[in-house]
Every structure is written in structure tokens, then in C-alpha cells.
Amino acid sequence: MPSDHDTILALIAETGGAGLAEQVRFIIEVDRLKGIVRQSPVIGADRNETDAEHTWHIAMMAVVLSGFASETVDVMRAVRMLLVHDLVEIDAGDTFLYSSPEVHAAQEIAERAAADRIFGLLPGGQGAELRALWDEFEAHETPDAHFARTMDRLQPFLLNVFSDGIGWRKHGVRASQVRTRMRVVADGSAELHTLVERLIDLSVARGYLADG
Amino acid sequence: MPSDHDTILALIAETGGAGLAEQVRFIIEVDRLKGIVRQSPVIGADRNETDAEHTWHIAMMAVVLSGFASETVDVMRAVRMLLVHDLVEIDAGDTFLYSSPEVHAAQEIAERAAADRIFGLLPGGQGAELRALWDEFEAHETPDAHFARTMDRLQPFLLNVFSDGIGWRKHGVRASQVRTRMRVVADGSAELHTLVERLIDLSVARGYLADG
């Protein structure tokens, strides 16, 4: 952290208390989510989206698609979970959804360390609450986590479908890989999972996605 | 809209109904919020943030800073408001906060037309609900709107303070202009407004902001 940031944060602590200074430090730190570039395209643009853009988009999707949740969900609690779900990538980076199991296992360890550090910037009770939401998202056991995960998986899928499969074609992704990865969508929404299956068929037919 | 998008949306309507196709069309349309570049810097990066990144950041801030609201607010309702508050800029573009009154008046007309079009993409009841949230944000009369607006104004301010005033210096912004613009912060949070005043003094002292 630059030394001028320390000076500013000291003034904030003096004016609004140590808790506020910790919260502003967290707010400044998580600005770095805008620097994490994902593998998913921005539709019609010659670049990929950032994690911050992705997070806004899935929060917006959760509001719009809440009627399709298979279980009873607290949509705004799912949104709260989504707002923090990718913060760990500030330290751990983004892993492409179709990487090897080894890559995913190493990523999981790095993400837990990142969660300790980043949520640890906040005052105790607040840091613990948001960390618990992140843990809940990762555990994928509750209705809110199921629905949140459904949005998180559906969004890059839709971006690819509406961009002629540009991300899939670049990585040579096959339909069977997408079907496997998208199975968790069914935990949050049976109807949206049915839609995904149909859109995979269409994507193969149109050459967005390799068959088999 | 590209013709292949029409084909995909027709399949979605066939599989999940006309309402779902309208919702997906909205989700794809608002992807363009990632293409609206703001005047505020990403801290430590050589670029400005996009509207989508800004929106995620202020939603996150609302969760973290809710304890500083002066009035009783429903924080997640304010978050819902924030998620849609800038969608109109997809059509109307971003206006720098320190533009002339004439520019702001023209912007307001363009934004109302944009709200009609964009929220009008959604099925009736849902479009009306989100449009009402946008109207409430714009009217700036309720506690939730006060707090949401406070986050919307505080965020670019903090980005400038923590980036040596790079955006202010580029536009030759003066402290008195910032004080006037930041007055609405007091409607949402007296404590955060006090902090802003102190940080303006610091910004002048450090040369981030022109005096007077």
C-alpha cells in the first residue's frame, strides 16, 4: 500500500474511528477486483470482462431470474453472497472453468488463504459475516448458495452463446465438458437447466461448441 | 441486435416461455453497461472504471457501510436500487459530475427515454418494479434513495482521494465544486459527510484538488 494511503487512512481513523478506517481500506483493496480479467467475453466488444463486471452482472441476473429458483430463496441474501463471492480472486486469480482437477485443487487452497486475508481487513463481526457468506457459497449446500451458483455458472454460458461461442472456440471446449460443468445449474433451477441443455444443442449445431 | 440473437431468443421463448426470453434479452442488453467508461480512475491502474464496475463497487460499499446510514434503511433494497441506477447510461452515456447545468438538464431528458426503453424490455410487472426503483433513486426523497445516492457520490470521491486526485487534476476541479456536489452525502450519512469534508481539506493540502 502506498504511504500516502497510510496518511489518508490515519485521517479517516481520527475522524470516523478505527472501524471506518478498516472498512475504507477494504473498499480500496477490493477495487482490485476490476483488475482481474476473466475468460468470458463482453458481448460485441473486443475484450473479456473483469471480475467486478461479472459480479455486477450476476447480481442483476439474480434479481431478474429469481422466479426460476427451484427452492425457496432469499434473493437479496443470494445477491449479498454474490457481491463477495469472487473477492478471493484478487489474490488467487481466475481459473478457467474447464481447467484440470489439479489446477482447481491448488486454486482452492489459494482461495482460502485469500479469504482469510481479505475478509480479515474488515472489523471482526462484519468480516466474519461476509466470510461466512463466502464459505456458504463455496459449500454449495443451502438454497441461497444453489441459486447464487446457478447465476454464476449461467452468466459466462450466456455470454458465450450470445458471442458465437468465442471463449469456447478459443479454448477448444467440447459440449460434454460444458454439460458436466453446467449440471450444478439444476440445483438452483430445474427450468434454467433445461434451457441450458437446449442451448448447448443449439451451440453445437451452430458450431459455437465442439461436439462430443 | 444481430440476427443470430433473434434465433437464440426464439429458442428460449419456445423452451421457457416469452417472459424468460424477455428477461434474457434484458440480461444481454445490459451487458453494454460494461462498455460505458466513467471519469473515475481504477486505483493504481492506467484506465478509468466502467459503469458495471462502479455499480458492483457501490453495492459492495452499501453492504459494508450500512451502519453509517443516518436514517433507517433497508440496505438490500438500496442495493437493488443501485444495481439498476446506471442502466440508463447504456443509451444516454455518462456525464461528468462537474459538467454545466445545461449538460445535466439534457442528460435528464435522455435518461428518462432510456429508462422507458431498457426497463420496457422486461415483462410488465418486473419492468415496472425496477423502473420504480430507478425513479425513486432519481427523486432522492426516501431513506433508501438517500443512502444509495450517498454511496454513488462517495465512491468516485474515494477513488480520486486514493489516486492522488488524478481525475480532479485532469479536469481542473476545485474544492468548492466538490463541496457542493458532495452535500447530498449528508442526506444519507452525517458521519460520512463529515469525513468527506476532512478529506477535501486533505486533498487541497496535498494538491489533489485546486483550492477555492
Q: For B195, which of A16, A44, A162 is closest by C-beta distance?
A: A16
**pLDDT band per the 50, 70, 90 thresholds, residue A93:** confident
Task: Determine, for residues B63 and A130 on separate chains, whether the beta-carbon distance falls below 8 Å.
Answer: yes
**Using CA atoms, how far apart are residues A178 and A198, in angstroms rounded to an integer?**
12
pLDDT at B99: 73
Q: Is the pLDDT of residue A32 over 80?
A: yes
Residues on chain A touching B7 (C-beta within 8 angstroms) = 202
A139 CA to chain B: closest CA distance, Å? 22
**pLDDT band per the 50, 70, 90 thresholds, residue A98:** low
Complex prediction ipTM: 0.96
pLDDT at B1: 62
**Using CA atoms, how far apart are residues B212 and B206, in angstroms rounded to an integer?**
14
Mean pLDDT of A50-62: 98
Average pLDDT, chain A: 95
Q: Is the pLDDT of residue A60 over 70?
A: yes
Domain limits, chain B: 36-205
Q: Are B99 and B92 in contact (CB under 8 A)?
A: no
**pLDDT band per the 50, 70, 90 thresholds, residue A209:** very high
**pLDDT band per the 50, 70, 90 thresholds, residue A202:** very high
Residue of B nearest to A83 (CA): B60
**Using CA atoms, how far apart are residues A62 and A40, in angstroms rounded to an integer?**
18
Task: Determine, for residues B20 and A206 on separate chains, whether the beta-carbon distance falls below 8 Å.
Answer: no
Mean pLDDT of A135-144: 98
**pLDDT band per the 50, 70, 90 thresholds, residue A99:** confident
Regions of chain B where pLDDT drops below 70: 1, 3, 96-98
Residue of B nearest to A60 (CA): B83
CATH topology (fold) of B36-205? Hypothetical protein af1432 (1.10.3210)
CATH 1.10.10.10 fits A36-148, yes or no: no
pLDDT at B98: 65
Does the pTM surpass 0.90? The reply is: yes
pLDDT at B83: 98
**pLDDT band per the 50, 70, 90 thresholds, residue A104:** confident
Mean pLDDT of A12-20: 97
Mean pLDDT of A22-27: 98
Q: Is the pLDDT of residue A107 over 90?
A: no
Q: For A35, which of B15, B42, B192 is closest by C-beta distance?
A: B42
Residues on chain A touching B159 (C-beta within 8 angstroms) = 31
CB-count burial class (<10 Å; 0-12, 13-18, 19+) for A186: middle
Please give the full DSSP string across A110-160, using - where no structure is assigned: HHHHHHHHHHTTS-HHHHHHHHHHHHHHHHT-SHHHHHHHHHHHHHHHHHH
Tell me the per-residue pLDDT of B51-77, one tens digit each, with 9 for 90 and over.
999 999 999 999 999 999 999 999 999
Q: For B15, which of A60, A84, A195 is closest by C-beta distance?
A: A195
pLDDT at A96: 64
Task: Compute the count of residue pairs across chains A and B with CB atoms less than 8 Å apart.
Answer: 161
Q: Is the pLDDT of residue A105 over 80?
A: yes
Q: Are A46 and B76 in contact (CB under 8 A)?
A: no
